[in-house]
């Protein structure tokens, strides 16, 4: 079961977690999402909450509903997500982080950038 916070509705938190998984390629574009029942069991949520999260992803142009078959990842969903996440990071998170780095007297040479091997 997942830990949820009180800062945003649970269905949005779930949509964000599922979107992060899409960025990591799970499931790949064109493939089906896990069923509502499977996601509800995995995350310990009401199926209506899961449905609402999936619908928000449909509304965002990441998934499509195929009647009788389930939800499928749309082509280019990962790229759309990546662009939206970059924009959000640069406009929301980076200014806060840059200000903190400046307050701490840290420069780019002080930062250690992990290699792709370290992230795995």
Q: Using one digit for the tens of pLDDT, what is the confidence trace for 44-56?
A: 999 999 999 999 9
Domain presence at residue 45? yes
Which residues are bridge partners to 32 per DSSP?
72
Residue 118 is predicted with a pLDDT of 67
Residue with tokens 């996601």: 39
pTM: 0.83
Domain holding 59: CATH number?
A: 1.10.10.10
Domain count, the chain: 1
For 103, half-sphere exposure in the C-beta direction (CA atoms, 13 angstrom radius) is 6
The per-residue pLDDT of the chain, averaged, comes to 94
The range of the structural domain enclosing residue 69 comes to 1-110
Phi-psi label, residue 82: left if phi above 0, alpha if psi -120 to 50, beta otherwise: alpha
Q: Return phi, psi of residue 44, to 5°.
A: 65, 40
pLDDT tens figures, 75-91? 999 999 999 999 999 99
Query: Under a CB-based contact definition with an 8 Å cutoff, are residues 50 and 43 in contact?
Result: yes
Domain presence at residue 38? yes
Residue 117 is predicted with a pLDDT of 74
pLDDT at 42 over 90: yes
Domain presence at residue 118? no
């Amino acid at each position: 079961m997942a830990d949820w916070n009180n800062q945003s509705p649970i269905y949005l938190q779930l949509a964000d977690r599922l979107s992060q998984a899409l960025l990591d390629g799970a499931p790949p574009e064109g493939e089906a999402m896990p069923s509502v029942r499977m996601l509800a069991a995995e995350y310990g949520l009401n199926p209506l909450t899961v449905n609402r999260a999936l619908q928000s992803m449909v509304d965002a142009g990441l998934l499509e509903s195929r009647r009788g078959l389930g939800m499928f990842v749309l082509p280019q969903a990962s790229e759309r997500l990546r662009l939206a996440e970059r924009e959000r990071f640069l406009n929301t998170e980076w200014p806060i982080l840059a200000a903190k780095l400046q307050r701490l007297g840290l420069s780019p040479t002080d930062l250690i950038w992990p290699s792709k091997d370290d992230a795995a």
